Amino acid sequence: MAKTAFRTTNAPQPAGPYSQGIEAKGFFYTAGFGPQDSATGNVADSVADQTRQVLRNIQAVLAERGLTMDDCVKTTVHLADLADFTEFNGAYAEFFAEPYPVRTTVGSQLANILVEIDVVAVLPDDK
């Protein structure tokens, strides 16, 4: 199977042996991104601000392949505390339009962050 890795300096760099994004068989998959600002390494305090930064990180990787959030068909979200769902969901909704991607949201033990997200995008025929 052919697969192509994509990397950008506009999102946090991998902390291990994984790619920021991979294209394979008509899909684009991202790594799970946390809320670190790629320029400063800073992490916001609120789950809403962390969600926005995570999704900006994802946008940066998608852009390397010429994709946008509109190309996303699936997201997986890890929240450190499911009680933060309403605040997370409000920020998340700022980045997607209907039809929304399908989504799985789970509570996870995260290392000093409140949210992590990965996406699957479809490569449009013209891209």
What is the model's pLDDT at position 125?
81
Which region, left, alpha or beta, applies to residue 25 given φ > 0 means left and ψ of -120 to 50 means alpha? left
What is the model's pLDDT at position 126?
60
DSSP per-residue codes, 62-76: HHHTT--GGGEEEEE
What is the model's pLDDT at position 44?
95
Rg over alpha carbons for the chain, rounded to the nearest Å, is: 14
Burial class (CB in 10 A: 0-12, 13-18, 19+), 18: exposed
Give CA–CA dist 118/110, Å, rounded.
Answer: 14
Helix (H, G, I), strand (E, B) or coil at 22: strand
Sequence ranges of the domains in the chain: 3-122
Distance of CA 62 to the CA centre of its chain: 9
Give CA–CA dist 117/75, Å, rounded.
Answer: 7
- Per DSSP, helices labelled H in 1-127 are 47-64, 85-93
CATH superfamily of this structure's domain 3-122: RutC-like (3.30.1330.40)
Length of the chain: 127
Tens digit of pLDDT at every position of the chain (127 positions): 899 999 999 999 998 999 999 999 999 999 999 999 999 999 999 999 999 999 999 999 999 999 999 999 999 999 999 999 999 999 999 999 999 999 999 999 999 999 999 999 999 886 5
Is pTM beyond 0.75? Reply is: yes
What is the model's pLDDT at position 124?
86
